[in-house]
Amino acid sequence: MSMKIFVLGGDGFCGWPTSLHLSALGHDVVIIDDLSRRAIDVELEVGSLTPITPMGTRLRAWREVSGRAIPFHRVDVAREYDRLLALIEAERPDAIVHFAEQRAAPYSMKSSRHKRYTVDNNLNATHNVLAAIVESGLDVHLAHLGTMGVYGYGTAGMKIPEGYLPVEVVTEAGDRVRQEILYPANPGSIYHMTKTQDQLFFAYYAKNDEVRITDLHQGIVWGTNTPETLADERLVNRFDYDGDYGTVLNRFLMQAAVGYPLTVHGTGGQTRAFIHIRDTVRCIQLALEHPPERGERVRILNQMTETHRVRDLARLVSDATGAEVAFVANPRKEAAENDLHVTNDLFLGLGLEPTTLDGGLLAEVSDVARRYAHLADLDKIPCTSTWTRQQRAGAPGAAGSSPEGAPTAPEGVLTGSD
């Protein structure tokens, strides 16, 4: 059944391919975006490695390729509540996909201004959407992009469940009562903290107003293109490689392509959850096709397909390409080593067929990186955003001892043959 779907943040790395995927399936997609991600490129003096085209060009190209129109409204969801509400009332969407948040942890930690922007933007955006859905009186299903980072990355050996943790408490009368609670939040950055706070908004609005909400706790996305973004050069998706927005596996593949030693933070013992961008768009589709009932608690799904340790990824890329591996001081405050076991039964049960690292798509990312390598600004590769004032000041033993506070100097270098 065809739905009308608002994609908030439909110009971004996940939002753009999702918009095209949903449109290709025959849904009526409306993109709402304030183009802030492009403004941040200007602020950081860096751009997508792939030459993304302006929104008007993107949408014209999509109409030519698919015969389908995607209307676009430039709205800042965090600030322009009245315009958002008016659009919901006029268009009456069946579902809203909410990507309209600042999504980079390092960007959120750059300064107090960046922390405050991330909190103001992300929390207001989420709350405005929820308040507008209730105000409209419509039964709109909200699907939100959360993050695996809400859980933290450590467990006492157990698998991280999908959102809810079964607990048993002893009452005053000595009875044992079992219930499920939201898994305890344990954010590792201001950005991740905003997503943990989003969860409380969702729990409240699902309980009080019976808004139907799905929260998708996504891992680190790798890859860049989907079948739809490959249909025309003007539809190409973003490829972030810089120290703030580039995510680890895409960065390693890009670094190998331009001959830059792979920037492993610390020992590289951090284990994280991963998902390919093609699975991201399929998961959104599956979540929209299986909405919760009215009055149901927030439906939480872990949107990831596999876990990997950072140094193993570096080794994989190094073995495939001969790239050097550089162990650099970690600019973040995070566990040096962790194990991570995650449940993703809900998406598997809905029919997701995971795209994994051994599926041959690593080469596709490398090809994209090599193709546009001449556009890269290598000075933007180091992660210069530090998590604490001490790291910024270059305290002994901490990251950031270079003149600009940038942890640029490799502490040790391995080659692919080591």
Residues that bind ligand USQ (CB under 6 A): 103-105, 147-149, 219-220, 247-248, 251, 263-265, 268, 270, 272-273, 310, 330, 332, 334, 383
The question of whether 356 is a catalytic residue gets the answer no
Are 169 and 246 in contact by the 8 Å Cβ rule? The answer is: no
Give the C-alpha separation, 120 to 243, whole Å.
23
147 vs 280, which CB is nearer to ligand USQ? 147
DSSP bridge pairs for 28:
4
Closest CB to ligand USQ: residue number: 149
199 vs 330, which CB is nearer to ligand USQ? 330
Task: Give me the catalytic one of 18, 118, 126, 147.
Answer: 147
Phi-psi region of 157 (alpha: psi -120 to 50; beta: other; left: phi over 0): left
Minimum CB–partner distance for residue 209 and ligand USQ (Å): 27
Task: Give me the catalytic one of 183, 195, 260, 372.
Answer: 195
Kindly tell me the burial class for residue 353, based on how many C-beta atoms sit within 10 Å of its own C-beta (0-12, 13-18, 19 or more).
exposed
Task: Give me the catalytic one of 81, 153, 191, 260.
Answer: 191
The question of whether 171 is a catalytic residue gets the answer no
52 vs 104, which CB is nearer to ligand USQ? 104
75 vs 148, which CB is nearer to ligand USQ? 148
Please choose, from the candidates 132, 144, 4, the residue with its C-alpha nearest in 3D space to the C-alpha of residue 70.
Answer: 4
The question of whether 191 is a catalytic residue gets the answer yes
Minimum CB–partner distance for residue 302 and ligand USQ (Å): 10
14 vs 132, which CB is nearer to ligand USQ? 14
Q: Which helix (H) or strand (E) holds 220?
A: strand 220-222
3-state secondary structure of 321: helix
Give the C-alpha separation, 332 to 190, whole Å.
12
Give the C-alpha separation, 71 to 4, whole Å.
11
Minimum CB–partner distance for residue 377 and ligand USQ (Å): 15
3-state secondary structure of 137: coil
Instruction: Give first-to-last CA distance, the chain, whole Å.
Output: 55
**Angle, in degrees to the nearest 10, between helices 361-371 and 248-258:** 50
Minimum CB–partner distance for residue 268 and ligand USQ (Å): 6
E-assigned strands of 230-298? 262-265, 271-276
Minimum CB–partner distance for residue 129 and ligand USQ (Å): 18
The residues assigned a catalytic role are 147, 191, 195
